[in-house]
Structure 1
Amino acid sequence: MCEQIWTWRNFPIVLTNHAWDKSSDIGLGMWDIIQLLEYSEDCLEDKREINTFERCTKWRGHDIKIVFKKAYTKWLDSNCWLIITIIERG
């Protein structure tokens, strides 16, 4: 079995169950998530804990916020970008 490991800025991307559900609800695939991370900007309105990042952009007429952090995953035995949640507004 061959699985694709999606990466962004040299680290694999892993979604929490919550982020996976949210991405499915709004029709975001992994390619879309990578593109949104790459071409979005840091969100300025909310403050999260240290080392937790937010990227904001518009996608298909909606405001999208991706909340993520760098974390270790046993699945890949390496550090990754852990997507915590995806928030859709509008």
Structure 2
Amino acid sequence: MQFTNKVYIKNFNVFAGPFLDLAVGNNNAGLDLGFAGGLGYDLSKNLGFEVRIKKGFISMLDHENSSFLFANSNTVFQIGAYYTFRFKK
């Protein structure tokens, strides 16, 4: 779940906000809380591209030497394309 605020400047956009992810797996299960931000560009009214980075605050590995913040936390870099449906009312 991600709560993103997006600001448009002509065809460019900047976005940022917190996220809450659920990690599931054999050895790692739990919640990851963090912050995401990125940049986007609209090629047309409907098509655009974006890059974003997500940084978790909670250690996802259960080690004796890991601290609550940042140690062994997730960092994700994403590149994507999007298509927006704009229906007229």
Q: TM-score range by the shorter chain?
A: 0.3 to 0.5
Q: Normalising by structure 1, report the TM-score.
A: 0.33
Q: Normalising by structure 2, report the TM-score.
A: 0.33
Structure with more of its chain in helix, by fraction: 1
